[in-house]
Structure 1
Amino acid sequence: MALIDAHNHLHQLPDPDAAIAAMKDAGISGCVVNGTSEDDWSDVASLAERHPDFVHPAFGLHPWHAHRRTPGWLEKLRSFLDRFPHASIGECGLDRWVDEPALEEQRAVFLPQIALARERNLPLTIHALKAWGPLLEALSDEAPPEGGFLLHSFGGTPELVCQFARFGARFSFSGHFLHPRKSKVLDAFRTVPVDRLLLETDAPSMAPPAEFITHPLPDGQNHPANLAAIARELALRFDEPFEEFAARCTENTRQFFRLH
């Protein structure tokens, strides 16, 4: 069964083309590659042009980079979306784990990206860390796109699953949550509606435990080809046949990102 990595930063690896070859060998048929700032949108675009049947580009301004934006950032984002009309928006969001930039400055770039996703009816990938209340407030202030949004590497509670599902959320599981100290996150994912669950690596970040690293990289980086081992282990934890589990997650990803 061909898997799809719903969220990574493949362009940040030293040799993305070699990584794609390894992903294909591991049974992965595609990935959504997310830009995070004006500085890397062109790198995502270049990768998508070289691998149009494998790389599905996403362009967004990450909350960590909100204070480094240029005055024309939103128009620049629009231009990349014009160039890639089947792209998605992301990653963007809110983060109270960092002290800088301030939450209000993060909101100043997050709300226009929600509005742009709604305006163009594009899939939207959201980063949220220690900011669940402000995120619910933002989604009330600026309605999400009709097709909903993805909370990538969702690390919240079962109660938050219910709250965000009402807004149209999808939830992607990262192999980082297979670490024993993250066991409570597995409980939350057991409450995710079956048609809302996606799989991701967030590569080169969020590496899984060592026993699920099939493609090691230097400096603890996470290879996106590790997705296959992550998916097998999650199916086991959910007590589901791997083929059925993988097929459902892949179809959920195709449906959300409109990859048919």
Structure 2
Amino acid sequence: MSGCSNSRAMRLFDAHCHLQDRRIAAVCPQLIRASIDSGVLRFAVNGVSEKDWHLVKQMGEQYPCVVPNFGLHPWYVTERTANWFNMLREFLTATPTAAVGEIGLDKGSHGRNIEFSQQVEVFRQQLELAKELQRPASVHCVRAFGDLLEILQNVGPFPAGLILHSYLGSAEMVPGFAKLGAYFSFSGYLTSMKSTKAKNMLKLVPKDRILVESDAPDGLPNLTESLLVVPLDDSSPQGLQSQHGDPLCEASVSPKEELNHPANIHTVLNYVATMLQMPNEELAELTYRNATRLFSYNGLEVVEEG
């Protein structure tokens, strides 16, 4: 694939996804092509551990539409090597187009099995590195928003920006995060939140800080409408961990698992636009410009399409 051009009037920027995930590796070129044809012009692809950073780097080199992100996800902090931080710095330094991510905190069903103090230590190190290199960071947070805000207040503010990916926090916390430089990115997981709560939260998000994402191959919207499902290739590994899956780590996932197609970001867009009572086209352009501004740091040349 030679470029990212598309003639469609509506353009989208997928602010967070995992297209390097081995569950979709065999069909990734088709997924990217179909998404671009639908108007998704850019993809922020997030690494989760030392085991997949090289895959993200390769993808960034192969596809001009991909913005690579390198980070150590909280689920994998116990698997880090003694040299992980130096390696992360090297990847980011060697890839001036790269952001930091996916990093964060997790007290959910999976994260509770990982010592929280270790999560915090690794998270703070990566936040400091993002500030030092003046790169935005993509942040995962599950049931730890109070801890997250406290840490961000101690380490921040973040003039290069933060992405609160798949944000499901409260409306009341939005102003505090926004004050520190946060952007709020919404995925299909938002459809699982009570609609009144989601609407109240969305209305408090500053218009210049709203983003949309697919979180593919996870984040399949919980809606009855027709959705694109990733065609499973016979060579694709099964039994891989869902949601930010380690590309080399086997876990208990059904072979019949429905994986999220990145083009389903249109469903997310439609859902958020409905909540905000905005035309889809207006929200698409707003989020595209917000993401373009966020990722336009030193080293990244952004070419406006259309």
What secondary structure, in the 3-state scheme, does the structure 1 residue paired with 2:20 have? helix
What secondary structure, in the 3-state scheme, does the structure 1 residue paired with 2:172 have? helix
Superposed displacement of residue 182, structure 1: 5.8
Matching residue of 1:124: 137
2-structure distance, mates of 1:237, 1:138: 30
| CA displacement 1:203-250 (0-9 Å, x = unmatched) | 111110244453113512111111123212321232112211110111
Matching residue of 2:244: none
Q: 1:39 aligns with which of 51, 67, 91?
A: 51
What secondary structure, in the 3-state scheme, does the structure 1 residue paired with 2:264 have? helix
Q: 1:192 aligns with which of 198, 205, 208?
A: 205
Give the aligned residue type for 2:51.
Answer: D
Q: 1:230 aligns with which of 268, 286, 289?
A: 268
- Determine if contact 1:115/1:144 at 8 Å carries over to the other structure: no
TM-score using structure 1 length: 0.94
| CA displacement 1:97-137 (0-9 Å, x = unmatched) | 12221110001111110110110100111111111121122
Change (3 A) 1:45 1:213: farther
Equivalenced residue count is 259
Matching residue of 2:148: 135
- Determine if contact 1:213/1:226 at 8 Å carries over to the other structure: no
Give the aligned residue type for 2:138.
Answer: T
What secondary structure, in the 3-state scheme, does the structure 1 residue paired with 2:286 have? helix
Matching residue of 1:202: 215
Matching residue of 1:8: 17
Change (3 A) 1:5 1:110: same
TM-score using structure 2 length: 0.81
Superposed displacement of residue 57, structure 1: 0.3
Structure 2 residues without counterparts, runs of 5 or longer = 1-9, 231-255
Superposed displacement of residue 190, structure 1: 1.7
Map 1:67-86 to 2 at 5 A.
Answer: 67-86=78-97
| CA displacement 1:139-167 (0-9 Å, x = unmatched) | 23322432221100110111110111111
2-structure distance, mates of 1:64, 1:201: 20
Q: 1:89 aligns with which of 95, 100, 115?
A: 100
Give the aligned residue type for 1:126.
Answer: V
Matching residue of 1:221: 259
Matching residue of 1:17: 29
> Which is higher, the Rg of structure 1 or of structure 2?
2
Higher helix share: 1
Q: Percent identity?
A: 38
1-structure distance, mates of 2:205, 2:135: 22
- 2:76 is equivalent to residue 65 of structure 1: yes
